[in-house]
Amino acid sequence: MDVKSAFNNVDKTFLGKRMEKLGVKADLIRWTMSFMSDHQVKLILDGETSEPYPVDTGIPQGSPAAPILFITYLSCIFEAVEKAVPGVSELSFVDDIGWWAEGRDKEAVAAELSKVSAAFITWAAENGVAFDQSKTEAALFRRKQKRSEAKVRVGDNEVPFNKHATQWLGVWLDSQLKLRHHQEVRMKEATKTLARLQRLTGRMGLSPSNCRRVMTACIQSTAMIGAELWWKGEKGGTDGMAKELQVMVNREARATTGCFRTTNQGALAMESGLRPASNQLENRQRRFGLRLLSLPQGAMAREIVGARTAISKRLASAFSYTWTATEEIVLGSVPLPFEAEVIQEEREKAMEEATA
């Protein structure tokens, strides 16, 4: 569900009450009220500028405080909906709100989500929030691929479950979470990018080293978005998608070096300096695990590394092959929280020893 005109419809009075309920300090609440007061807008049509009009609602966009204030403004909706429909969970990113319900029967899941929609609409009407019904989607995840005729009631509309993949935060999620469609989309985008860059590098005459940087930054980053989620290793059943990526890497190598299509792939890789696809996938998955471990203590995403899930096992496998002694000390299985004061003392002590 997508909040309509998210930042523009925030009421400062309601936001202030919400911040007070959350225990925010009075000085910060007064600063927020001042931050959202005395705003004016002007309309420019065909070069003509209108008189300024006062605006009493909305959070100024472009400020680092804007998304924080908006999340604070919407935070109470999760409590209201979860209280009205016990058992559901939420997953949101700014103004994109997702609701999660589990069940053995698809009709029962649709009924639960319909209750969630009703509770959401009720809260929105009471608090001056509107959402875009045209952007509302429903996805059903299950092990067996079957068609579902169940629909989720959203206001006066009925939203069917998507028959194909659903895009969420840049990742295409299919019903069985194999992410095959996602990888197909990424490969198409990477192929288009490669074709455009080949024309550009041919005209501009980039050196091989600069060309390699362009290939790595633009094409490989495009093709491997979300690869950490579907890569299962060379023997995990995803070697087919890895081979498709390797074909793309070979094309990048030929574009970088100008070699013929019949050039030996080993020599081509050495001359271009581009790493094989499987190595890159392993490295991306390892870095993904390290990012999770570097999150603060208590973060839910951090628990993925030690959980008994398939992706946790893949992360552990990636660590077992690439974990160095330094990484074991800095990011162990149960890393200690960083203490700024201790780090500062050790740094000052090291400087004193160096200058002594």
Q: pLDDT tens for residues 223-254?
A: 888 888 888 877 766 778 888 888 888 888 88
State mean pLDDT over 174-189: 87
> Of 248, 256, 308, 251, whose CA–CA distance to 281 is shortest?
248
pTM: 0.68
Tens of pLDDT, residue by residue over 1-11, are 777 766 777 77
Please determine, for residue 346, whether its predicted confidence score (pLDDT) is greater than 60. Answer: no
The β-bridge partners of 157 are 154
Q: Mean pLDDT throughout 20-33? A: 88
User: Helix 12-21 crosses helix 26-35 at what angle (to 10 degrees)?
Assistant: 170
Q: What is the mean pLDDT of residues 254-263?
A: 78
Q: What is the 3-state secondary structure (H, E, C) of the chain?
A: CEECCCHHHCCHHHHHHHHHHCCCCHHHHHHHHHHCCCEEECCEECCEECCCEEECCCCCCCCCHHHHHHHHHHHHHHHHHHHHCCCCEEEEECCEEEEECCCCCHHHHHHHHHHHHHHHHHHHHHCCCCEEHHHCCECCCCCCCCCCCCEEEECCEEEEECCCCEEECCEEECCCCCCHHHHHHHHHHHHHHHHHHHHHHHHHCCCHHHHHHHHHHHHHHHHCCCHHHHCCCCCCCCHHHHHHHHHHHHHHHHHHHCCCCCCCHHHHHHHHCCCCHHHHHHHHHHHHHHHHHCCCCCCHHHHHCCCCCHHHHHHHHHHHHHCCHHHHHHCCCCCCCCCHHHHHHHHHHHHHHHHC
Q: Are 272 and 253 in contact (CB under 8 A)?
A: yes
Comparing 72-76, 88-92, 314-318, the range with the smallest average pLDDT is 314-318
Residue 339 banded pLDDT, cuts 50, 70, 90: very low
Above 70 in pLDDT, residue 34? Answer: yes
For all residues of the chain together, what is the average pLDDT? 78
pLDDT, residue 345, reads 59
Task: List, for residues 207-227, the tens digit of each pLDDT value.
Answer: 777 777 888 888 888 888 888
Residue 352 above 70 pLDDT? no
Contact in structure between 88 and 81 (CB atoms under 8 Å): yes
Sequence-ordered list of residues with C-beta below 8 angstroms from that of 225, at least 6 positions apart, any chain: 170, 171, 186
247 vs 57, higher pLDDT: 247
pLDDT, position 331: 41
The predicted structure's pLDDT at residue 350: 57
209 phi and psi, to 5 degrees? Answer: -65, -45
Q: How confident is the model at residue 340 (pLDDT cuts 50, 70, 90)?
A: very low
pLDDT at 138 over 60: yes
